[in-house]
Structure 1
Amino acid sequence: MIDPATLPALPDLLSAPRFERYRNRYAGRSDLAARLYAWNTELATAFWGPVGCLEVFVRNAVHDALRRDRRDDWWNDPTVRLLDRERRAIDDAVRTLRRRGELDPAPDRVVAATSLGLWVGLTDGGIPRDPMWSYETTLWQPRIVHAFPGLGNVRRKQLHRRLDEVRRFRNRLAHHEPVHEAPVERIRDDLVAIAGFIHSDAAALIAGAQRIDAVLARKRTAVETGASVI
């Protein structure tokens, strides 16, 4: 185990603007900033597993709800009307697979190649009160709601808001941004709650296997002593 504060080149390796965000947290102290950066990396790593599991659970559950009693490539069903943002997301996934040599990708391959943003977008309201483009009435009520049998009294808007926060947090993880000042406890709880809306086993896996709590408990030790684990 190495103390990041003993690595003088680290600030330059990370770039001055990126490192400055950590130095500002400790009034310009580079030693504590280096340790905070390493701990932030540890925290981000701890979140990747639960976020990845939830992403798979959500997309498979919504996909199953939308394809039930119709073709597996439900996005090509003429009765399914998608806004440009969701249509682009699917088209982008198909183009990516074709560039990789899959000229006619199977529906499950397309689903696996999509981003979380597609599935979060499908839980949005679309164009409210529009008979053709309201996701609430054309997608959510007849189908997508069944992807979340444990939803209880939680409304679609509330689910969408929580999913979108997870999506934005996931993007911060993917771009190696600071996440230590995010509402990480709430996001952790939302990961478990949303998984539970799909199935109790999904929630049990995330709640029982996550190491986020252990990393959060290590923050003071990591910053004060430099005992870093990335």
Structure 2
Amino acid sequence: MPHTPIINTLSPSRMSTYLNATNQDQAKALELYIWNSQISAALLVPMHLCEITIRNTVAQVLETQFNAQWPWARSLELTLPKYFRAELTKARNQQDVRNRASKVIPELTFNFWQQMFVTKYDQQFWQPYLHTLLPNAPANMPVDQLRASIFNDLDKIRKLRNRIAHHEPIFKQDLNLIMNKIESLIYFRCSNTSDWATPYYQVQALLQVKP
């Protein structure tokens, strides 16, 4: 099968990263491209579970602090930067929300949930609740360090997910490291959930056959 028409269809500019990685071998570049697509798809499953885990953890904190109607709490709004305040307002104004926090939660972005792990929330949210909500996190790690570590891990996961969403190359990244961070965050919250989900992941199998 001729490779040049395929590369032209995908576009030479898009394929240049893969061609450079394979010494301009078109067949190997296309093999790497397909593998990159497959590993990207496989990563979406653990990323999905990680995001659900984290946003439900944060939502529990917010409900504890501001009651079940936390998305409408003015005191929460005032703690948010302007951008995230606007995001919260937009989310709770969706037509099908009907004053239910559970309907607001999926309308908020991964970036919003990550924002809840910044330093200024240590005293209000995380010092009282972090080790309770994440019972399997390292018990000897101070809350401010654990919270900062979670923020940084979420940042790496979010940025990789954004690259996947835009169909960008991820084959040069340390995907084992990212998977370890994803699995740790889920485990911190619930070992049963972690044990249940892990057998369904296909990431490790694909990493073993990377071109």
- Residue of structure 1 equivalent to 2:82: 84
Identity %: 23
Measured at CA, do residues 58 and 19 of structure 1 come closer, stay the same or move farther in structure 2, by a change above 3 Å?
same
Deviation string 1:118-167 (CA, Å, 9 cap, x unpaired) is 11111112xxxxxxxx2222332244554322222262111111111111
Give the letter aligned to residue 177 of structure 2: R
The equivalent residue for 1:73 is 69
What is the Cα deviation at residue 32 of structure 1? 1.1
Select 1:109's aligned residue among 103, 112, 116: 103
Of residues 189, 194, 199, the one that matches 2:180 is 189
Corresponding residue for residue 171 of structure 1 = 162
Note the C-alpha offset of 1:213: 0.9
Q: Which amino acid aligns with 1:123?
A: F
> Matched residue pairs, number?
204
Residue of 15, 20, 25 corresponding to 1:24: 20
**CA–CA separation in structure 1 for the residues paired with 2:97 and 2:154:** 32
Distance 1:161 1:64, change over 3 A: same
Residue of structure 2 equivalent to 1:11: 7
Picking from 142, 161, 172, the partner of 2:152 is: 161
Q: Is the 8 A contact 1:11 1:19 kept in 2?
A: yes
Structure 1 residue matching 2:169: 3-state secondary structure: coil
Q: Which runs of 5+ in 1 are unaligned?
A: 126-133, 221-230
Equivalent position of 1:46 in the other structure: 42
Which ranges in structure 2 are unaligned for 5 or more consecutive residues?
none
Q: Structure 1-normalised TM-score?
A: 0.80
What is the root-mean-square deviation in Å for CA atoms of aligned residues? 2.1
